Every structure is written in structure tokens, then in C-alpha cells.
Amino acid sequence: MEEVDKKILHLRRYAESIEDLSELGDLYIEQKKYLEARYYFEKMIEKDPTNILGYLKRGYLALILENYRDANNHYYEALKLDGKNIEALIGLAKVHLMCNGFEKALFYLTSANKFSPGSPEILFYLGFLHFKRHEIYYAEKFLNEAKEILKQETNVKNKKDGIKKNVGKEIKNKNNKLYSKSKIWAYISFFLGTIEAQKGLYQNALNEFTLLEDHPVFDPINFINFQALWNNIALAQFRLGEISYAEVALKKIIDYTESNSKKVNSITWLNLAILYWTQDQLEEAKKAFDEVRKLDPTLWPWKKQLQNYTTHGAEWLKNNLNNMLKENPEGVNVAMYLGCVIPNRYPFIDAATRSVLNALKVGVVELEGAGCCPAPGVFRSFDIDTWLTLGARNITIAEDIKRNLCIMCNGCYGTLNDVNTELKHNSEKRDFVNSKLKEIGKEFKGIVDAEHLVWILYNDVGIEKIKKMITRNLGLKVAVHYGCHILKPTHNKPWKDDFETPTFLDELVELTGCTSVDYRDKLMCCGAGGGLRGSEKEVSLDFTRDKLESMRKAGVDIIVDCCPFCHLQFDLGQMEINSIYKDQISAPFSIPVLYITQLLGLAMGIDPFSLGILRYPKRKGVPPFTPVDPIFTHLERDLDLSALNQPTN
């Protein structure tokens, strides 16, 4: 520092040229004397307004101080002097990135990449931009390209110096001349690791993250980055079953905050709470949930419900269901048709749907005595008349109470809607069916509609009403799965014009603050339909594996469906694929699967126990499920990028 002071004294006496003034400003930045630095950079502009260097220096200083308007103005002035100046283009891109102006940032970065191809810094920011926009393919492409260039440059340096070192170790050394590039490398590794974690490739993620443990960019002094790294290490370990290591990583953050008067992120406590919950450490989980509430009451608002659930369990949930609205004289009223899969496999889909409809003031009654729909892809193929008759019997139960059917299963909807349409318009078939129904004292009259739950939500209740009920922004990246029978055949579906590019389920999902992520073969069958799951399970699962691979590549957090049979195929199917196709997949699948009303309910503030999302740990005597607890845990996706704007000492 003494040497720097001497240099400053000398320059202050004799500084005449633009270069001297620039060096003097840089030395003051090194000492964090930003007002002095600004003074000399301003003198550069006064001395020669046509020299681009003064504007670049002022823009650079404004970026350090996070004064983005000032930075934008000076970099723009620089660009007016030289439209191909890389530093000005990158500076403007940084400004717009920090302000979420992604389109302008992309314009400046694309221009910079055109004039200076192969720059790791430009490629990094292109990758980061696509990462922020959830465009995983392009994010990976640019980040990996930047990392490879840095690796090659480092290897060349090592070869010249006769040094053989691992690139990670080499550039983690703060005193190394490559440290300025090492900062970019560190950020690249973090975001690549986060992308791998988003795709469920947790070992790959951990490999990236552990390279950064001692890197200065992730030193505890840079607390935002330190917390983000160790949080993500913990989540990767948690998903890999390394529970004790995950707990240590999360406590590393908490211990540091307690001894250094830092404010721990509520997400760290929530991750720890879920870790304890899944391990049956309920008292520790409750304490961690309390810490979450202290820091952010909106992140975990269900203290009372947690106590009721852990104390009274199923009895408390049963009482909730019994007290729900049966009739709304001024609103929508439906007869609930459960089908077979929901009551036998997924009763929480029923509970979640009733909870959401109750919150929306929809009156719900049972369809007492209803039987199997029966299945459209199987039963209809063998005996159409019996299929029509059994379907009509279910419809007559709804006719007796003068309520439209609310159907939660695509297959059941396919049958009951087709039967209802056929018998309303085909008198010959209707007469035949009624001759059979007469034997049990029933008659098909054609006075009710057979509606899918999604149509009731989207049309009868309406998007606007649901939107007003949303209290929480979930912010998840969702793979929406429509399924087959909700869309086709098209002649009797209410969304006739949208069967090739439907949006209604995506629209419901995005009401919750989630992003519906596009992925390959989005409208492909889940693989279970037409009796395929029962007759050719491996062929069935091969369909599912293709869809899951597409979802994984898109980096989704969860799958959302509107059919319990599709739900079964994605849920239990993931576990079966992990076993049957273990040698053909890059890593086991573990993407949480939610039914649409579970997602809506969570966004409406309904407790996760009533929705069947956060189930009692280590349940006994129930079928296996893909865990849904992960939707409450959070990867940290945001870092403090200011280190890239700071000078290298």
C-alpha cells in the first residue's frame, strides 16, 4: 500500500496525459477511494471528450458502485465514439442484465460476440442470460464453451511455465495472474452445477460445486455467494442420500451467520427443516420451521396446521373434509366422480381437489354408488354396448341429484363425456341403454354434462376468480402434461380449436407464479394408456422414459398433470424406470409429480398436509411414491456478480 501511495503522489504532481489520469483513477479504485477516482476519470473526459477511455472508466466505476443509470450513460457515450468497442458493449450488457433487461442485454452481447468471438467473458454472460431466462440448452452451450476456452488458455500458460496443474486448482489461487479469469471460471462452474442439479444429475452438480469450496469468490466474506454455494452443495448431497453431509453443509451457513452477525437466508432454514422432516426428526423440523417463520412468514405460514397434523394426523384431515361446502345456492355445484385410481392409489388428489373447490366456493357432493367409468381404452374395445350402459349408469346418478359430473381423471372423462354425447344424440343407442337400465330402476335423460375438473376450474369458476385467490408465488419451472383423453377426440371437447397447441392447463399453472417450460414431445402419451401398462410394461415405461428425459433436459422442477393414471405412470413409473432402465439413463429420475389442484392449492395458501404434498414421513403399508418434499427445498440460483466488476489486486 505504501508503494501505491507513493505512486499516487507522483502522478498527482505530474499527471498530464489521459493515460496518467487513467492510472491515477485506477490506483484510487484499488484503495476504494471512489470519489477521488471519479474526479480523475471526469478530468479525462474534460481533457479530451473525443477519447473513449474516459467514458469507459466512468462506466466501469459506476458498475462497481452499482449505479446502473450512470454506467449506462457513459458506456453509451463510449459506444457512440466506437460502435465496435467490446468493453462498452459488455458494460451495457451487464447494466441491462442487472436490471433484467434481457432483450437489450442479448443485443449487446450478440454484437460483442460477433466482434470478438471466443471471449470467455462474453460467452459467460451469454450463458448467464439464458440461465436467467430458463433456456437451459443455450445456457449450458455458452457456459461450457467459455469454460473450455479458459481451460485451454490455462493449459497453454502452464505448458509455457513448465507447470502441470489442474485448471481448477491453478485458477483458484488469488495471487495468480489468471485470477481475473478465474472469477469467470468460478461463476461458470457454479451455474453449470446448478443446471446439473435442476436436471436431477446431483453427482455432476456436486462435482462442479466442490471445486469452488476454497475459491475467493465464494469466501464467507462474499456472504451471498458463500451461502448459495453451501446451500446447493447441501441439496445435492441430500438428493444423493448423504443426509449427514447435507446437514453439516447447511449448518456451516448457520454457524457462520451466528458468529459473524450475518443474516441467514430463510431458504437455508427451510431446506434444513425439510431434511429433518424426511428423517422423522419432527421436533428438529418444527424448530427449523419456526426459524423460517421468523425470517419470512410467507415462506412457511402453516405453523398451526403443522401442529394439528403431527398431533392428530388423519383425524384432523378427515374433519377438514367433512366441514367443506356442499352447496352454493349462487355459485357452481358439482357431483364428484372419483373413478378407480384416485380412491385406491391417490386419495390425496381427492383431498386436494375438494380443498381447492371449497376455497373457490364450489359446492361438492358425492356421486353415491358410482362404479368404474369403465375404462375407454380397454373396455370399449371389447364390448361397446356394455361400456355405454355402465357409463350411462354413472351419469344417471348425477342426473338424480341434478348436478354436472366433476371428473378428475382423463380416462374417466373420456368415457363419461363420450357416453353422454353419444346417448344425447343417438336415440337408437339411448333406447338400448335405457332398456338395460330399466332393470335397475334407472333411465338416462341427458340433462347433465360430464365435465373435466380442469374445464370447471378454467371455465365455470374462471381464471379471474382463481387469480384473485392466489396468495403465494411458487416460482417453479413446470413440465405440464395434458394427457390424451382430455384433448381427443376433438368433436365433443370444449377446447376443440386448441387440441394441437393447448394452453388452458399451462394458463392455470402460470397463475401460481410458475413457468410452464416447453419440452420435446410435450403432448405425447405418458405411456400408460390403452392397456399398455398392464400388458407391456417395459414398452409403456419406454414412452415415459422418453418424456422424462425431455423434461430433465429442460431443467424442470416438477411435473404437473390432470389425470391420476398419468400421475401413476410418472410417479411410480420413475421408480420402475430407475430399476428396469438403470443402465440406460444418466442418473435416477426423481422429479416430483403434482396434480393440478395440489399446485393451485399451495399457491392459494392451503396447507401442504391437506393437499397431500407434505406427507407424514416414513409411511408404512402404502405404495411407493416419488418424493414430493423437494418442492419445498430451494436451489440458490442468484449470485452477487459484483466480483466481476471489481478490480483484481
Query: For residue 147, what is the enclosing H or E element?
Result: helix 136-161
Which residues sit opposite 593 in a β-bridge? 559
Residue 419 lies in a domain: yes
Question: Which CATH number does the domain housing residue 249 bear?
Answer: 1.25.40.10
In a domain, 85, yes or no: no
Are 187 and 287 found together in one domain?
yes
| Cell matching residue 125 | 454472460
Measure the CA dihedral 429/434/439/442, to 10°: 140
Domain assignment present for residue 103? The answer is no
Kindly state whether residues 618 and 629 are assigned to the same domain. Answer: no
User: Distance between CA atoms of 228 and 239, rounded to whole angstroms?
Assistant: 17
Which residue matches cell numbers 451457513?
253
Tell me: do 484 and 437 sit in the same domain: no
Give strand pairing partners of 405: 335, 450
Give yes or no: residues 606 and 644 share one domain.
no
Please state, in angstroms and rounded to a whole number, the distance separating the CA atoms of residues 631 and 591. Answer: 9
Residues 435 and 528 in one domain: no
In a domain, 46, yes or no: no
CB 198 within 8 Å of CB 237? no
Distance of CA 493 to the CA centre of its chain: 30
The pTM of this model reads 0.89
Same domain membership, residue 510 and residue 601: yes
At 390, give phi and psi (nearest 5°).
-65, -40
Same domain, 483 and 520: yes
d(C-alpha 502, C-alpha 380), whole Å? 26
* Distance, CA of 253 to CA of 265 (rounded, Å): 9
Residues 434 and 471 reside in one and the same domain:
no
Residue 573's closest CA among 345, 379, 411, 375? 345
Q: Say yes or no: 225 and 255 in one domain.
A: yes
Q: Is 27 helix (H, G, I), strand (E, B) or coil?
A: helix
Structural domain ending residue among the three candidates 400, 428, 454: 454
Q: Which of 401, 419, 454 is the last residue of a domain?
A: 454
Residues 485 and 577 in one domain: yes
Q: Are residues 209 and 301 in the same domain?
A: yes
| Total domain count, the chain | 3
* 388 domain residue, yes or no: yes
For 327, the domain range is: 321-454
Looking at residue 20, its pLDDT comes to 86
10-residue stretch averages of pLDDT, the chain, 649 residues long: 73 81 89 92 94 96 94 96 96 94 96 96 96 93 96 66 45 45 92 96 96 93 95 97 97 91 90 96 96 94 95 92 94 96 94 98 96 86 92 98 97 96 96 97 97 97 97 95 91 78 96 96 91 85 95 96 96 95 93 98 97 84 80 93 71
Q: Indicate which CATH number applies to the domain containing 429.
A: 1.20.1050.140
Cell numbers standing for residue 528: 400408460
Any long-range contacts for 534-540 (C-beta under 8 Å, 24+ apart)? Answer: 537/576, 538/580, 540/569, 540/573
pLDDT value at position 150?
A: 92
Domain assignment of residue 97, yes or no: no
CATH number for the domain harbouring residue 595: 3.40.50.11810
- Residue 402, sorted as left (phi over 0), alpha (psi -120 to 50) or beta, turns out to be left
**Residue 462 in domain:** no
In a domain, residue 251? The reply is: yes
Q: Are 477 and 607 part of one and the same domain?
A: yes
The last residue of one of the domains, among 454, 482, 510, is 454
